[in-house]
Structure 1
């Protein structure tokens, strides 16, 4: 009896070991499959990982051009230097989809001036994907770009709101030269005493203010009026969000809990005087009250050039804040 019980126990033990081994083998295959699946290259996964902390600096290229002018490169380089511990992402409409890790490596080589900055990343801009799950999606599906007078501008306006909504961080136009870090995570900036800027602003991802901006974009859309979806929109939403801030001297104000930067922080040279950037100054200003400088490239319809050694204000700014871009200008002709 005892012997038969031992034999039975041994058989059960062998069966149990075999069963557990099979389970472990199947689990091993499952975890291996899961690991392989998670390691499959995904541009979206990499992008989400890079911007996961909500502290990225975001630039957009709405056109298909793949050879951006010097001012665009300077804007990105200066941001990469000032925000050296934060990711700087450049969305390019003309960039092919990234289907492999090698594609991501090759993308960085497209712009040699920026390739040495480890915190600069290039990703394709896909508007339909960016607008998904936002109020802008329905507008985008029915709009006819060929009939829009300012399509590049209004689509840029939409993309900046959608990208900040999804990822958070700071949005900057590609004609903004960074001088020093903006010390706020959430902020709006005044373009003038009465207008809120859309060229530089920072908000947490999924911030209610950004959602209201997208709702206003669709509700009050008017593509025939330049700036209606940009500075005018932010000014409208700000007036609904808070009592219109007033400035005392050069101190910043606030819109509710959102800091509202004085025009000196980004726009020490107002748009009627934009040509001063291309003039020689008796003494180069320090811009000690500014975090960044907006160069009003939209006004520059004559394509005034950055000429190395010209001693103009923009020449000094390039030399100091984007020296790699400036060095490239010494050997090739570039247009701001």
Structure 2
């Protein structure tokens, strides 16, 4: 017997509501008893390396008595839709840098209504210094998870590309290539904000919706180090296809800023990125249902001025200039990792860390 159309619609809506409420209830239970997810690791409990690990990881995991076995994303815990912040450690590090933990803490602290997901390709984290455990205890909205990449890419436009292994063949940067596609897959699937792990959050980023970051001259590119989109947004769907089409293994960022810039220029009919923003303009540019934000919103200093972030005594000056403009700072870790952080120096980074990642701050030196 064929059911009436109205009955089918009602049944469908009931199923959607049930799944949503079940997922919300599951996350609430996990927040109330997080010890069910995070446990000390015995060697027998640590998952064997996935096939992709040998192309991605120098070391898949360091098994110690201090290891915390991480829950698996989409198996043990699944994000709600559109209330997420994603940060990714794609190099299989069981001990992420303190600067990465500072980023994770700052976003957890400043965005208490969001779920902050630190997605790590290692199945464990090293808790020898106690920092991961302290952060998980302090911030109930923080989730540190490992991931089975096959599951994340399954049923996306990137699935065949990932499974083919093209992202690691003939390229010096398999970690970068993987990170570029993983961030888009996660935001397409669950919705929310993505940020690189060499950042510090200064204020609630969720007033910013469906955006990319553009640059004043001479940057002239769309950055992919920070962006927000609702789940299944068409821009994310299109970018997954465009990244594959534009992939060049020998070109750093071919699936990052180069693809993003070409796509946004065409989508928004921008003939010349050099004149995207008028001089000294801080106004976003609207393009359909997305926005292009000037870089000072999330990248107040360009990469060639990264040393300014470590100059002693610059924090108050920075706040006076950027307090009403900037939602985060970007540290350009690949350039600045050799620069020391001096406690009490009141540099831009030290001041931001002191105020926005107070648990991690004492360890940064």
TM-score class, shorter-chain normalisation, is 0.7 to 0.9
2:135 to 114, 128, 131: 114
Distance 1:166 1:209, change over 3 A: same
Change (3 A) 1:256 1:72: same
- 1:240 Cα shift? 2.3
Tell me by how many angstroms 1:197 deviates: 1.2
TM-score (norm 2): 0.71
1:153 to 176, 185, 189: 176
Note if 1:308 corresponds to 2:343.
yes
2:211 paired residue among 152, 163, 187 = 187
Q: Deviations over 1:125-183 (max 9, x none)?
A: 22221111122121122225264211111100010011011111001100121111221
Q: Distance in 2 between matches of 1:315 and 1:52?
A: 33
| Structure 1 residues 227-257: Cα deviation after superposition (integer angstroms, max 9, x where no partner) | 1111111111112221228324221112222
User: Is the contact between residue 117 and residue 145 of structure 2 (CA under 8 Å) also seen in structure 1?
Assistant: yes
Residue 127 (1) aligns with residue 149 (2) = yes
1:96, distance to aligned residue in structure 2 (A)? 5.1
* Aligned equivalents of 2:298, 2:82: Cα separation in 1: 22
Identify the residue that residue 256 of structure 1 maps to in structure 2: 288
Task: Give 1:279 deviation, angstroms.
Answer: 1.2
Question: Corresponding residue for 1:297?
Answer: 333
Q: Of residues 94, 98, 123 in structure 2, which corresponds to 1:70?
A: 98
- Partner SS for 1:189: strand
Give SS of 1:198's match.
strand
Larger Rg: 1
State the distance in 1 between where 2:233 and 2:329 align. 26
Aligned with 1:215: secondary structure? helix
Q: Is the 8 A contact 1:241 1:256 kept in 2?
A: no
Instruction: Say what the alpha-carbon RMSD is for the aligned residues.
Output: 2.5
Gapped regions of structure 1 (runs ≥ 5): 1-34, 98-105
Q: Check the 8 A contact 1:216/1:233 in 2, yes or no.
A: yes
Q: How big is each residue's C-alpha offset from its partner over 1:190-234, in whole Å with a ceiling of 9 and x where there is no partner? A: 244521110100001111100111101111111211111111111
Partner of 2:46: none
Paired residue for 1:324? 359
Aligned to 2:298: 266
Please state how far the C-alpha of 1:91 moved relative to its aligned partner.
0.8
Separation in 2 of the partners of 1:237 and 1:324?
40
TM-score by length of 1: 0.77
Query: 2-side partners of 1:66 and 1:213: how far apart?
Result: 30
Matched residue, 2:118 = 90
Q: CA deviation at 1:296?
A: 1.2
Q: CA deviation at 1:53?
A: 3.0
Q: Deviations over 1:66-91 (max 9, x none)?
A: 21112101111110111111100111
Distance 1:227 1:319 in 2: 32
Question: What is residue 312 of structure 2 aligned with on the other side?
Answer: 280
> Which 4+ runs in 1 deviate beyond 6 A?
none
Query: Which residue number corresponds to residue 248 of structure 2?
Result: 222
Does the aligned pair in 2 maintain the 1:67–1:111 contact within 8 Å?
no
Corresponding pairs, count: 280
Deviation of 1:185 (Å): 2.5
User: SS state of the match for residue 99, structure 2?
Assistant: helix
- Deviations 1:81-139 (Å, cap 9, x if unpaired)? 11111100111100259xxxxxxxx9xx7713422211000111222211111221211
Counterpart-to-counterpart distance in 2, 1:113 and 1:173: 22
